[in-house]
Amino acid sequence: MKPAAFDYVRASSAEEALEVLAKEGADARILAGGQSFMAMLNMRLARPKLLVDIMRIGSLDRIEEIEGEIVVGAAVRQAKLLGWDKLKAKLPLVALALPWTGHVQTRSRGTICGSIAHADPSAEMPLSLVALSGSVHLRSLKKRRRVRAADYITGMMNTARADEEMIEAVSFPVVAEHGYGFREIARRHGDFAIVACAAIVSSKGIRLAVGGVADRPEVRDWPGLSGSALDDALNRFAYELDARQDVHATARYRRELVRRVGRAVIEEAVQCHS
């Protein structure tokens, strides 16, 4: 498995990268950490004419707190965010979910924004960004726009990004005094999740986000449910996700995981909230 031929450009600024995208459109693709996209190239599921490497653009390699949000630049590797000393205090859900993303050996290279750009339905970072109502900062040569994470991911590995745009950063809102829970089931730790669940509990109620089942992360908000009312809500959610059967799991098994793992992460989040 070797990639098909492409030209390669190492951009030294975001503007340079955007100029290439403006000129080449869909023929050009951004290469960041490469932990998803290089595999796509090797399998020839992607065959761009030109790769624009953004990993040596210093201005994109920043984690900043701006107006109540943590803004993570396009060149920030997953290991860097995981090692950020304020992660647990500012983004407890990301601190819980990120160790499930790939392995030590892929987090060292892979970026946060790259995982969101790839938009795999079972990946943890898109799930976390959607659960936290975060947003994606898109930029083209002509303009910048912010898109809500839930609107950015339009389907399985499909996004609202236009050909001439790149993700410049993603932002996770900092929300104090909430409880968080995260768990997933995979065949091997670090593999793609069969089902991944993130729960956020506040005084207003419960939010549950589920990945790995539908074609994108799905979220439900419930006012303070408990007992059998919560079981009923989880059961409805499990069926609404329209689970598919594949080589990893049956649809029925996925629904059961949504009910059980969903319940477990909600209980975890309640405990962490109180």
Binding mask 215-234 for another protein (x = CB under 8 A): --------------------
Name which position in 22, 61, 87, 108 contacts another protein (CB under 8 A).
108
Q: Measured from the CB atom, is 41 or 208 closer to another protein? A: 41
Contact between 39 and 157 under an 8 Å Cβ cutoff? The reply is no
Q: Which stretch binds another protein (CB under 8 A): 172-180, 185-193, 227-235, 260-268?
A: 185-193
Q: Which stretch binds another protein (CB under 8 A): 105-113, 213-221, 252-260, 261-269?
A: 105-113
Q: Which stretch binds another protein (CB under 8 A): 4-12, 68-76, 113-121, 126-134?
A: 4-12
Residue 114 CA to residue 39 CA, distance in Å, equals 13
CB atoms within 10 A of CB 206: 23
**DSSP class of 215:** S
Q: Which residues pair with 221 in a beta bridge?
A: 207
Name which position in 26, 89, 104, 156 contacts another protein (CB under 8 A).
104
Interaction between residue 22 and another protein (CB under 8 A): no
Q: Is 191 helix (H, G, I), strand (E, B) or coil?
A: coil
Q: Measured from the CB atom, is 34 or 92 closer to another protein? A: 34
Which residues 233-272 are close enough to bind another protein by CB under 8 A? none
Q: What are the C-alpha distances in Å from 172 to residues 9, 40, 112, 148, 262?
A: 30, 27, 11, 11, 22
Interaction between residue 135 and another protein (CB under 8 A): no
Interaction between residue 79 and another protein (CB under 8 A): yes
Q: What are the C-alpha distances in Å from 134 to residues 85, 100, 130?
A: 21, 19, 6
